[in-house]
Chain A
């Protein structure tokens, strides 16, 4: 493992840094994605970001800009009071997901890009992270993680009990919008390198593992980040050794960690050491 790690640091330092950064930020944000039961927003925003990247590349604009504009537009749309539509938010997310996925494919199909470029664009490849990509990620993801941790208390209270928060003078719309803008920005910055699948994985799987590990929010977030970091390291090292696609290998590694944690919890529960 250690020789593989030093080989990875030597050969793909940017991929390693990008994977750790994306994993860390998305796994922290992902705890609230799960707690709010809006898991579908993860994959929807990833697809919207892919569409934004595709549009930006066809228009010769910076990809992250295209992704950010589209994801933030969707986030703001979802924050609007849509009750008049008498549809659950999941249905609206589903609609946006199918439109974004189809349009992304149609835009790249008409762009004249080569097949491998299209594949990279739609599914991402962490190994191809350039120093510029990494700089963009550092500029976006670190502030996003910092904002989430600094304003954790009002964000938690907003999601925990909206009405009571309003009574206490907490500006729930402001904190909700801040959280979802952070989520949109993180997905935008991560999508080109990580692709929709890995971003979705980072948002859901480590957070689920973290919530299995602890009944304390802070500790659950720390465990979530740890699972993302360990999964990224193991996935990247193994993908390099076995010559496998990096993103998908990381997904498998993170999922294996989740399964191990879930199995440990199940055993503890079976032997009566923990309440369900």
Chain B
């Protein structure tokens, strides 16, 4: 495996008002790695992801990423997309191609092929015409993963992608993520609650507690 660092955080601090959420995080994410961020609620997992994505401003420290050159794939937590929106899954996936579309932002034949290809890869053949409201929880999450993958990003960032899903869906999604990491070489950083599914996926996990990080081997639950 290469040892090129894609994401580097140095002394990263993030505060919401007076509350310090990240307290000097030093972290390097190597190209091609699969790094789960684990820890209890309020440990700062989502905030670290938001800082890496550039969605929250650090109060101190630095974050270096290649995202200005190539946007990452991002999978938000469940419930971000309102099922009221009358938008089919294929259009949600096509959103991931937005930075690569021309001035009129119209999808071409190749773009449509990319959308159906990524849906098929995730086992969603024939589901692209369904709206978010018509999909199950697992299918919704796979739609968001497809959106993140459609532009073939170098880095995939996921915020608790299996939260709220049944065990079977959790295992299916984790298997897809492992395959994406190993077969396509996509670097994955993922906030995750438990560790039961991580043992075979990642050699190391990033334990977060009280806004600090520590790398360790995943526990075999």
Residues on A close to B: CB < 8 A?
34-35, 37, 153-154, 156-157, 159-161, 163-170, 211, 214-217, 219-220, 275
For A157, A170, A219, which residue has the most chain B Cβ atoms within 10 angstroms?
Answer: A157
Which chain B residues (59-87) contact chain A, with CB distance < 8 Å? Answer: 67, 71-72, 74, 76, 80-82, 84-87
Which chain B residues (84-114) contact chain A, with CB distance < 8 Å? Answer: 84-88, 91-92, 95-96, 98-99, 105
Beyond contacts A37-B82, A167-B74: 13 other A-B pairs, Cβ-Cβ < 8 A, are A153-B105, A154-B105, A157-B98, A163-B76, A167-B71, A167-B72, A168-B99, A214-B86, A215-B131, A216-B87, A216-B88, A217-B85, A275-B134
* A163→B74 contact, CB < 8 A: yes
With A35-B82, A164-B147: A217-B87 Cβ-Cβ less than 8 Å: yes
Q: Out of A164, A215, A219, which one reaches B95, CB within 8 Å?
A: A164
Q: Out of A154, A156, A163, A168, which one reaches B87, CB within 8 Å?
A: A156
Q: How far is the CB of A184 from chain B (nearest CB, A)?
A: 23
Closest residue of chain B to A216, judged by CB? B86
CB of B1 closer than 8 Å to a CB of A: no
CB of B178 closer than 8 Å to a CB of A: no
Q: How far is the CB of B136 from chain A (nearest CB, A)?
A: 13
- Give complex CA distance A16, B105 in Å: 35
The 5 nearest A-B residue pairs measured at CB:
A167-B74, A153-B105, A215-B86, A215-B131, A168-B98
With A35-B84, A168-B71, A215-B86: A161-B76 Cβ-Cβ less than 8 Å: yes
Judged by DSSP, the binding face of A is: helix
CB of B55 closer than 8 Å to a CB of A: yes
Residue-wise interface mask of B (193-219) relative to A, using a CB-CB cutoff of 8 A (1 in contact, 0 not) = 000000000000000000000000000
Instruction: Give the total of B residues in contact with A, Cβ under 8 Å.
Output: 27
Could you list 20 examples of A-B contacts with CB < 8 Å? Answer: A34-B84, A37-B82, A153-B98, A154-B98, A156-B87, A160-B87, A161-B76, A161-B95, A163-B74, A163-B76, A163-B80, A164-B95, A165-B95, A167-B72, A168-B99, A169-B98, A170-B98, A211-B84, A215-B88, A216-B86
* B55→A166 contact, CB < 8 A: yes
Q: Out of B72, B86, B98, which one reaches A211, CB within 8 Å?
A: B86
Residue-wise interface mask of B (115-150) relative to A, using a CB-CB cutoff of 8 A (1 in contact, 0 not) = 000000000000000010110000000000001000
Closest residue of chain A to B159, judged by CB? A163
For A164, A165, A217, A219, which residue has the most chain B Cβ atoms within 10 angstroms?
Answer: A164
- Give complex CA distance A80, B82 in Å: 23
For B55, B82, B86, B95, which residue has the most chain A Cβ atoms within 10 angstroms?
Answer: B86
- Give complex CA distance A183, B68 in Å: 33
For B72, B92, B98, which residue has the most chain A Cβ atoms within 10 angstroms?
Answer: B98
With A167-B55, A167-B71, A167-B74: A161-B80 Cβ-Cβ less than 8 Å: yes
Q: How far is the CB of B105 from chain A (nearest CB, A)?
A: 5
Q: Which residues of B contact A169 (CB under 8 A)?
A: 71, 98-99
CB of B15 closer than 8 Å to a CB of A: no
* B85→A35 contact, CB < 8 A: yes
Q: Which residues of B contact A217 (CB under 8 A)?
A: 85-87, 91
Q: How far is the CB of A58 from chain B (nearest CB, A)?
A: 42
Q: Which residues of A contact B53 (CB under 8 A)?
A: 163, 166-167
For B87, B96, B131, which residue has the most chain A Cβ atoms within 10 angstroms?
Answer: B87
* B92→A160 contact, CB < 8 A: yes
